[in-house]
């Protein structure tokens, strides 16, 4: 019985990994997100609390969960909670990433509070597998 259960769990995990790998991307924290990608310039002009999707590169980490993000039109500070990464690793700075989040306008600053991330599998140095397989594999 234990062998059957173990094989069933392994088959389900491999099936999930296979479906992710087959479409050429890896996505974490699936959920409802705006479909239209906008520029950083447009995101900076968006209303407070509006949800946006931007695509570009993370330049560097500037705080505990704060990063500098840029595209061809400008730069914006983004806050990405550790839970949002959900096992993803962007790899080296400058790799392309798509961020889904909420515009947070404060006094003299605009940030993107990221709710979901997406980065290409080929950009990742680590690929997440369930703990059943030992966590992270290189």
* Per-residue confidence in pLDDT tens, the chain, 138 aa: 655 545 555 555 555 444 444 344 444 444 455 569 999 999 999 999 999 999 999 888 899 899 999 999 999 999 999 888 776 666 555 678 999 999 999 989 999 999 988 875 444 443 443 433 444 444
Domain-embedded: residue 90: yes
Cβ–Cβ < 8 Å for 90, 120: no
In a domain, 5, yes or no: no
Q: Is position 21 within any domain?
A: no
Say which CATH number the domain at 46 has: 2.40.50.200
Q: H-type helices in 54-117, by residue range?
A: 82-85
Comparing CA positions, the residue from 100, 11, 93, 15 lying closest to residue 53 is: 100
Has residue 16 been placed in a domain?
Answer: no
Residue 93 lies in a domain: yes
For residue 116, the enclosing domain spans 33-137
pLDDT at residue 130, as a whole number:
40
Q: Quick check: is 2 in a domain?
A: no
Residue with token string 């209303």: 47
Whether residue 107 lies inside any domain: the answer is yes
Which pTM does this prediction carry? 0.61
Domains: count for the chain: 1
Answer whether residue 96 is part of any domain: yes
- In 3D, which of 137, 114, 122 has the Cα closest to residue 91? 122
Give the model's pLDDT for residue 134: 43
Amino acid 113: pLDDT: 96
User: Would you state the pLDDT for residue 84?
Assistant: 86
């Amino acid at each position: 019985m234990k062998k059957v259960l173990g094989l069933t769990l392994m088959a389900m995990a491999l099936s999930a990994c296979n479906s992710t790998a087959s479409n050429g991307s890896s996505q974490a924290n699936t959920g409802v997100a705006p479909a239209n990608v906008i520029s950083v310039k447009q995101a900076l002009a968006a209303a407070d609390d509006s949800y946006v999707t931007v695509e570009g590169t993370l330049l560097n980490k500037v705080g505990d969960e704060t990063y500098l993000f840029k595209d061809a039109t400008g730069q914006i500070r983004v806050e990405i909670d550790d839970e949002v990464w959900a096992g993803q690793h962007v790899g080296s700075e400058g790799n392309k990433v798509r961020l889904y989040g909420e515009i947070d306008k404060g006094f003299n600053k605009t940030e993107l509070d990221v709710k979901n991330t997406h980065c290409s599998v080929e950009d990742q140095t680590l690929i997440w597998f369930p703990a059943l397989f030992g966590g992270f594999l290189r």
